[in-house]
Structure 1
């Protein structure tokens, strides 16, 4: 029993729809009915699933049955559509037929109406399938690359395809109805009759023979005919044949012969499959790989000679080739060989379309050496990491020599590094095999040695026989083949062999990679040593700086404090104005010492960082600095990650700078006028900036030509300033990893912008 007929029943009465489904499906396996209550639902189901027929009521809410038919025909022009309605009239029946319904049936009483409905649906679907199969057959016939024909029992052509029309040059009207002798010679007519007789008298289904097709212009086409009987209801009605152009096949055979002569010279294994994955050709390398005669391979499915995994991978690639995703497919896998072992191999696949068919060509290449090469590259990569971890030139040289032996197979080798004092390439490390072959490793210098010459030129050199080179270091040496690999400016790696021509291009390439890694490692060791020396020098400088700071802090501050005290006492006793100037000079010296110590001891360093809320810190800083009638405007609620004490020092210095330089009063009176005499008071504003914050005042500002130098130690435009306040600001910003720049504020004063703060 075949698949059930899938019916979409459209009726707005659910009870009646359920009854129809129940009755039609009572004969299990014949019908599969799905109900829809209206046209909209029916169209949705047709878009989602395949049905063999639609049975629809006429009167329904929204679209009626004929309106549904019109919508169905847009996407399903041939789908059987039966109008099954309770409203019956000749007018409706006529309208339904005109609209293109497959059948029209009026609802009745009892279950007998459903038997009629089942027969109508079954007949409509059978006709629909038959018509579709016929259309497919005709389409295949016309799409065939070979010429196809059918003859009745009298030898008259009843069917021809487009290919036969094109080949012969006759029209379809000329051919159909004409005797086969129009395009076939008498000998071929006789062969055709004999073929039909043989098919009738034997169990053979196909008879094949070669013949000649005659064209309208008097030409001929050599063909191969495959003839079979044409039967209908068990009665022979004639014969049908497929003609294939033998000229094309012969040319293909000649090409194949040429290809075979080429393939036979290849070391790679080559095979060709037909569309059924049957082997049609293998070269001698493929047969040798399998250990059998090629005649045992040709005609067998490839699956009998390849493992399941390889077949599966190849099929996946074949699908991609067929879909046009690529032109050549590549599969890497392990292949079985004659002795039962395996080899890593690369399978390259290509599809070739010939005469309407597809041939599948495969080329198998042994990639054992390539895999070894790849493993060596991986090992070199791992060794490079070990080399970079080395801490001395000697360790790098030792690791380099061991890698050349263990990874590259350059057993006898040594590393010579340049020694500036000796002006020579001095041996630093060698393998045991190298020391055995060369009893005493020499140092190379001057232009009279191959090693020195290669080192100077910086290019690798593989010498087939060093005894043929006039610059050989030791004419009595047992060494014959040598490989010289420059290690940058640092030295050279030399591999030796007692056999001439021991090193190939692959050894050179891999050796260059190793030599490059050794050079990089030596450069890092050199750089590390320089950094270590620099660190030691910085440590010594810091110690001297700390000693200096101690002297300044103790030995200079104490006498200064004494001088300040004595001057104060003298002022109280005498009231001499000169003493007031002296006191101011001593105060300035004290401030200068404090700033110098801040730079010297703290510099570009910070303590432990923590989240600091700027509004609270700014209020605290403002309270500790003499600001007179100045005003602080905090327009930020930013929290930053910082050393709070150093950040406080940064803001205090910026506030002092604003007070000292922000007033419009001239010269050294700026701060004094602002603080003591009610000069034009400064306003300091702190606000948000993308990636940071800004501090600006509304004073006289900083001229553009001085903005690059205001952070330099000692730079000041005020007689009372030390010139170190903004230098300290920059040091604190740098210590936190921030950037600071000065520009003009909104009111024309100085604006300091701090960016690069990151998250708190």
Structure 2
């Protein structure tokens, strides 16, 4: 064949000698190492085949004409005169003889339209395909290319037929198929049904035609005797410039299932977080247990749920090794009776670890519920167990166990709080026993706790437990004798700030309530060694309910619940605002692009097409900003990074033109990508809204030759950094709105840029203030250390005048 010699020998057959000469010359010009001879009749073809090693014959006449009637004679000669098999024949004629008819003609290996653009270039490609090495050598090339790959691989020729499929395709499709040489459409039938073959064919055609690169297509495969699966096809062109396509085929069923399971788990966790706030407000065990069982029923999808407690239990715990019975307190689905502590529930209570029984159909110790198929038991500390029962085996998974453990952890915390409150309100015990019990509780309770006594009509602190010292960063000896007021209301140097706080306690009302033996229970936010945290503050008397001369203050940490509530509220508000902004802007820009496109089609004016491109660029920027905000929901990975590194990367992502960048030495602890997003948005904001080329210098109060510069550096008086520009600045009246989603002074902008800045600041726990730079431009100051923070977060930003 052609690979055994230096050149490929081609015989061009046509009745017109001039056409033979012209086509031979143009074919040789299109291909290096290809020699083209000619023949004008059948005898000429016979002579050439007998005297020359012809690799391929090109028939240049339409078989439907008198001149093309000799096609069958030529194919017969090629069938019998090849040294290593038939000589391939490529039909090179006009479009009246269709490709389907040509390929159905015996002896014709391929077809090229002679009246198509670059017809001779396509002819050379078809000749090269027709004269490729033998099937064994070609199969060896394909096998070398794809058999080492773990994923399934299909190789397609230029016509869309499968040339090769590696052995991994059997595992991917779930059925063994003879793929070589078949059209792709054959996959849609037996023995495996593939739903979506048309999409794969379209992707292959696009790649072969050079219209697309690497489109991904997902289809559903239903192999016989196996579960349906989701298969992903990623199509690319063949390496080495070969005519055809290669598809990497992966079974992504498990990934899709995992993705769905994660979404479901996230939804259930959100449900649990939503109910924790209600649990914190429960005042009785019955109320708490009913709320917990209802939550378990909705989250675990069990047929039966219940909370069982050990009979005659006490706050100090229950030793079930001495015997006892689990008594159901609250159930849902169906009622069941008491059960022994010797079974699965007893083991979970003893060890403090949850137990999952996937098949309880033949186990009498797993559950008191009849027809129990699977059982999940999670211990409730110092109380009993949470049971979840399903009639079918295998109904619960490990993630259900995790959810149950999360739920009972909240139940245990709330139950402890409820029992502490109930115990403290008991007035029947002897004073000595009360104080002995209190000493133990005071020292070991994990929540911050302080006792007080009235002196001169005002409550003062008498003692504070280790948790109070550790969490609030104070020494008990230092706070003894302090007015209780100093540790109940939030500390602040600004009385106006205190007056505006929602969690400020009415001190006068507190004194009167405690003196009369009353109680105070309210949610508050306090500064701790770890920063501001949310607590449930409970204050009340210990002895003498009539006078309330002595009492306690306890802080129960509810920061997780509060943070989750604030986060959900913030996300909801942000998503709603973003949806409104993005929908409106995207609709306007699409309408604008459509209008200019129609105008361009009518007039052919390039300026209209430029307007279309401009609208698309605005939409692309909107999509980028939305992606940045969505990426902000992922976990942060803070690390030390220099301002110069982050600024350089952000600068490269913005078209800055003639704008200058000046960065002072400094570093910050931040997630690198988020910090780059923040700097990118501020740089873009300076370029878009303060560049002299985009504004009238005279009307903005600037010198005519003013050059815009962006400066980035560390703050002098606290940990943090600033970003400022020398542009036109932001008017004082507008500064309170700049972080609002959708706010922009440019009608062509979506107004999400500073929203990205706000998102990064909030997620890092920083603060930001906006002020005027010395040159009159905008200056953003970021404080990164919560302990040194003297300004509010971006969500509560204020305008600070020039110092």
User: By the TM > 0.5 criterion, same fold?
Assistant: no
TM-score norm. by structure 1 comes to: 0.36
TM-score normalised by the chain length of structure 2: 0.34
Larger radius of gyration: 1
